[in-house]
Every structure is written in structure tokens, then in C-alpha cells.
Amino acid sequence: MTVVVVAAMAEEAGAVLAHVGEAIEQAPLAGQPWWRGSLDGRPVAVVQGGIGLVNAATSLTAALHALSAADAPAELVVSAGTAGGLGEQVEVGDVVVAERVVHADVDVTVFGYALGQVPRMPDGYEAPPELVAAAASLTGDVVRIGDAVSTDAFVVPERARRILADFPDTLFADMETSALAQVAFRHGVGFVAVRGISDLADGGEFSEHVDDAAERSARVVAALLAARG
């Protein structure tokens, strides 16, 4: 069984690979690079999935099928990398482990679905409780537990205000996690998101902190997998 860690950008995937032993690059998946190796003694695949919901879903689907064909099916999918922080308690430098994820741009409420719920899918994608509990006990980096959303646009202040009005418990927004969660759900695989906060949804600090936020996310991913046992 394999843990699949998906990161959108090269900086984010590289930060994860720094923790992976004997990483071997595989033939590209749908045009995107990926690697197989081990992390804390368990098989791991690191997928550089690309930016955005469609890229994320396409890359993860390809990875899950490739691993199944190699008789190394996925047991857990992790969304790693950076995100924009939302909410007064979140600061640049924090790492947020998402307890629940929704797609902020989905609105089919006219047919009785919850805001953010894709028809015939759950109204949110929840991380395994044991991983949330393990994340809450980690020491070192500042780790916060809370809700997260994904959206088709980079979140700037006006959009952040709309997201918080609709989903007031949100701690971060990104452009991949809800798609990854939905693909994992469709395949019956557990899912958790671990994102380093690079900016406060204003874009102003993203370029300055993308590398160190990615590194913090990767550290927490490694620590969480170790704590999971």
C-alpha cells in the first residue's frame, strides 16, 4: 500500500522529495512528473500534479491507476504545499491540517444541495479522525486544525470575504485540495490536506514565502506519517 502525496508546483513537490528516500522518477503521468520512494519506511509516491482543480484531479487519477496496475495501491492521499490563510487566527508560517474540505465555487442549492456540495457527492470531505488527532499532537511547526476550501481562482481580499461569509470556519483556500479529496473519495481512499500558509489571501507575500511554506508543509507531512505509525 502506498501513500500518495500530491503537490501542485515544483517547489512544493521538491520540498516533499527532500524527505523521501530512494526517490526514483517515473514515466510522466498525463504529462506531469512523479516519483516513487519511501518515507518513514512506507512506500510513497510524490506527484507534481499541476495548478488548478482539473490538473489535480487528472494527475491523481492517473497516479491511482498506475499504482494499482503496479500492485501498489494507494492507502492515503495527501494534499501538500502552500495555501492562502483565511480567518483571524491564521498567520503566515502556520501549517493547517484540513479537518474538512469543500469546493467553494459549487452552488447547486436550488436543488437542495448544501453550498459547496457537488451533486451526489458528500457535502464535505473529512480527514480520517486519527490523522486529525495525530496532527493536533505534533510539536515543532505551528499546526492548526480546521476547515478548508478550494476555488478556481487565486484568492484575493474580496474573494476571501465572500468565502468567509459562506464558510466562516475556513482556515485556508487553495486551487487543488477539494478536487483531490473528491478523487480520493471516488476511489475509496483516505484523504488529508496539509498546507503551509504562504500569504493571507492577498497575494502580497506568496512569492516571498512559497518556498518556506512548502518546506513547513513537507515537514508536517513527514511528521504526521511518522506519528500515524
- Report the catalytic residues: 12, 199
Across-strand partners of 224? none
Q: Is the CB of residue 101 less than 8 Å from the CB of residue 132?
A: no
Would you state the cell numbers that stand for residue 64, as one nine-digit string?
491511482
83 CB contacts (<8 Å, ≥6 apart)?
A: 96, 148, 172, 173, 174, 177, 195, 196, 197, 198, 213
Across-strand partners of 229? none
How far is 190 from 209, CA to CA, in rounded Å? 29
The residue among 107, 193, 217, 99 whose CA lies nearest residue 152 is 107
